[in-house]
Amino acid sequence: MKNILIINSGSSSLKFQLIQMPSEKVLASGMVERIGLDNSRLHYKAQDQLTEELEIRDHSEALKVITDHLRHPQTGVIKQKEEIAAVGHRVVHGGDVFSETIRINEQVKEKIQEYFSLAPLHNPANLKGIEVSEKLFPAAEQIAVFDTSFHRSIPRKAAQYAIPNELYEKNHIQLYGFHGTSHKFVSKKAIERFNKENSKIISIHLGNGCSITAIKDGKSLDHSLGFAPVNGLIMGTRSGDIDQSVIFYLIDELGYTSQEVSDLLHKESGMYGLTGYSDLRDIEEKAAAGDKKCQLALDMNAYRIKKYIGAYIAAMNGADALVFTAGIGENSDVIRSLVCKDMDFFGIELDEEKNKNRDKKLREIQTGDSRVKIFVIPTNEELEIAQQSFELIS
C-alpha cells in the first residue's frame, strides 16, 4: 500500500486528497479556498469534517495547514510526512512535450513555466503547488499529470489550424485540449457501464472552465478547447469562441493593449461578462426571478453546447452517450434541460424527472425511448491522478 497525496492547485485555491493505493481508499480530502484573500477557509474531511476560517497568505501556508491536519493527533491520518510516497500534481498545459504522466525534475518545471502564457490562470498556480510540496515532502516523488495528455490522440486534421504550415511545424501552434484528466475518467466510467470498448461518447465538462470532447473507443477524437484554455464553450469568465476580427478591432480601433484583450477574454467575459455573475447558481436564481440578461446568458450557454454536440455527432457518425460532469454538469438540472431540449432528431431525449434527481452517484437521465444514453457522472480527477501516479512509481 502506498499513500499518494493529490494536489490540484488553482490561482486562489488548493484542493487535495490523500488516497491509499491500490485500494483507492480516500484517507482525507478537502480544500483551502480564497488563498491570499479575506476570509480564507479550510475544508478538511477525514474521520470527521471541519471548516476553519484562517488567514492564509499563499499556497505555501495553505499546504502547510493541510499537512498539519494530516498529522494532527485528533484529525490526522498519518504520523510522519514520510508516509506519503508520492505527490501527484494536476498540471493544465503540457504542450507537445508531455504526452504521459512524468516524474518532476528541473527540466519539467522549466517546461511548465514556458507554458505560462498559454494557461495564465493555471500553470503558474500548478508550478507553485509543485515547488511548495517539494519543500514540504522532500522524501516523496513528485509526479505531474497533464490535462493535455489525453488529447494527444486527436488526429492532425482536427488539431492543426488553417494557418501557414511552418507555424505548426516549427512553433507548435495547434489544438492541445484541456480537462483531459476529467474527460478520461468519466469516459472510462461510461465505457464500463456500456461494457463494450467500441463506443462514441460526447463528454461535457461544465465548471468555471468548460469543455466538450468527442471520444471514440476510449480515445479523444476532437475537443472544444485549443491552443490555450479560452475558446470553445462559454465559461465562467472566459469568452469561448469569438471572431478573431473582434480582437483586432479592440486593439486597432478601441485602443486596447494585447494584455488588456487577454485579460478581457480570460477574466472579464463569459457568464460574468454577460450578467455580472460568474457563479451559475446566482445566474439561475436571477433568471428564475425574471432577469432577462441572466436568462439570455443561460440560453447562449446551452446553445453553444448544442452546436458542439451536433458537430461531434457528425465527426463520429453518431453518439452512444452524452456525459455531463464537473460542478455545473453534475448539479445544474437547468443547463442539462436546456442543452437536451429539441434534440430528439439525434435520438437525445431527456427525462425531466430523472434530471431533477440530486443523487451524487453515476446515473442515467434519458427517457426509455432515447436512442442516446444521457449520463451524469461525477468526475474524480484526483483519483485519476492517483491511479496514474501509482502506475508510474510501482
Annotated binding-site ranges for substrate: 90
**What is the rounded CA–CA span in Å between residue 226 and residue 240?**
10
The phi-psi region of residue 70 (left if phi > 0; otherwise alpha if psi is between -120 and 50; otherwise beta) is: alpha
CB atoms within 10 A of CB 53: 11
**Helix, strand, coil shares of the chain as percentages rounded to 5?**
40, 20, 40
Rg (CA), the chain: 21
Residue 359, C-alpha cell as written in the block: 443523487
- The one catalytic residue among 38, 68, 147, 369: 147
- Active-site residue flag, 147: yes
- Residue 215 to residue 203: CA distance in whole angstroms: 7
| C-alpha cell of residue 276 | 455580472
Q: What are residue 43's DSSP bridge partners?
A: 31, 51
- The residue type at 152: R
Residues making up the binding site: 8, 15, 90, 205-209, 279-281, 327-331, 381
Between CA 90 and CA 127 the distance in angstroms is 10
Query: Residue 316: in which H helix or E strand, if any?
Result: helix 292-316
- Residue 187 in grid coordinates: 469516459
Distance CA 302, CA 338 (A): 6
Handedness of CA 100, 387, 233, 275 (dihedral sign): negative
Instruction: Show the CA angle centred on residue 307, arms to residues 314 and 293, nearest 5°.
Output: 175
Residues 6+ apart with CB under 8 A from 311: 222
Tell me which residues are annotated as active site.
147
